[in-house]
């Protein structure tokens, strides 16, 4: 199983601004010493020594995650603006049959559909799985005029889509992959998905505001989260942001760490990054999460940022 992050920002796409790029360049230049530019090898070592927030970026596309399985199946989780990148750069699935799972239909999780090139390919087909009976109606409204031109209207692409309704607590198989669904706390509802192949378990849990009952190990349905090899979890806010946005449906990083510890996750990936945070601030949150984890019981758990373009192999 290979997990590829095509979009990891929450709420709205957030490209780097010219000022942010300039700040990165200035910060890098300020770190250079004469010995760092003496030879090509020295220059390469210097570049490699730069912190990740300076050398790269967590990315600006809204949520989209791809999964490639050992049996050849390929799934797409949510259809934010990262879906455009997937359509351009990912290898197509067998028979050009795409499989999409939607956590919910807030715009940052569906806005990539009109820009997904395979949706206009007459040879391609897209199976959509969601827990929302109105899924097709929702997508059709997004592609209506005057929001998009005539050639992008839903009427011109709907024949390429088949919709499948799933239910909270349900477990089923798609292309021989075990899939489970769990309803989470988020305005308008959001659903987490578990995917299992060859004894490996991956959980995608975006747009969730965890509450005390989610940590309750006496509640059978909560064991959906038990023993994930990789848990991708909404960790959008720091403490200041959370205090102003209680009830908005997102987490502080420390609560995400506590939750992952409670359910014995092996690896936690912080996801759905706040659009107003720059790369340096997001990497500061990662460091804070790791320090916080070191004070917890499950110190063996590994914590990472979900970064656009990154691949995780299970």
Kindly report, residue by residue over 201-216, the tens digit of the pLDDT.
999 999 999 999 999 9
Q: pLDDT tens digits for 35-77? A: 999 999 999 999 999 999 999 999 999 999 999 999 999 999 9
Q: pTM of this prediction?
A: 0.95
Instruction: Tell me the pLDDT of the chain averaged across its residues.
Output: 94
Residues 6+ apart with CB under 8 A from 63: 7, 8, 9, 10, 77, 78, 80, 82, 103, 108, 109, 206, 271, 272
């Amino acid at each position: 199983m290979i997990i590829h992050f095509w979009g990891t920002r929450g709420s709205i796409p957030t490209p780097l601004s010219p000022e942010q790029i300039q700040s990165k360049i200035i910060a890098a230049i300020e770190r250079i010493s004469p010995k760092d530019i003496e030879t090509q090898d020295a220059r390469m070592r210097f570049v490699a020594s730069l912190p990740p927030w300076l050398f790269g970026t967590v990315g600006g596309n809204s949520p989209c995650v791809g999964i490639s399985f050992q049996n050849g199946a390929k799934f797409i989780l949510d259809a934010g603006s990262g879906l455009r990148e997937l359509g351009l750069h990912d290898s197509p699935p067998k028979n050009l049959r795409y499989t999409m799972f939607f956590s919910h239909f807030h715009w940052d999780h569906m806005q990539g559909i009109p820009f997904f090139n395979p949706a206009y390919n007459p040879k391609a087909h897209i199976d959509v799985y969601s827990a929302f009976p109105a899924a097709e109606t929702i997508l059709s409204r997004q592609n209506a005029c005057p929001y998009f031109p005539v050639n992008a209207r839903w009427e011109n692409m709907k024949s390429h889509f088949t919709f499948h309704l799933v239910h909270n607590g349900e477990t089923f198989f798609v292309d021989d992959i075990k899939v489970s669904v769990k309803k989470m706390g988020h305005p308008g509802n959001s659903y987490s998905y578990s995917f299992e192949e060859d004894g490996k378990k991956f959980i995608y849990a975006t747009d969730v505001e965890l509450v005390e009952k989610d940590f309750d190990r006496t509640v059978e349905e909560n064991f959906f989260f038990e023993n994930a090899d990789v848990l991708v979890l909404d960790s959008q806010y720091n403490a200041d942001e959370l205090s102003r946005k209680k009830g908005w449906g997102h987490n502080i990083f420390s609560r995400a760490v506590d939750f992952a510890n409670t359910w014995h996750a092996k690896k936690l990936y912080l996801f759905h990054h706040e659009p107003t945070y720059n790369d340096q601030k997001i990497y500061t949150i990662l460091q804070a999460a790791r320090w916080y984890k070191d004070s917890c019981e499950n110190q063996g758990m590994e914590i990472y940022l979900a970064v656009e373009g990154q691949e995780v192999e299970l």
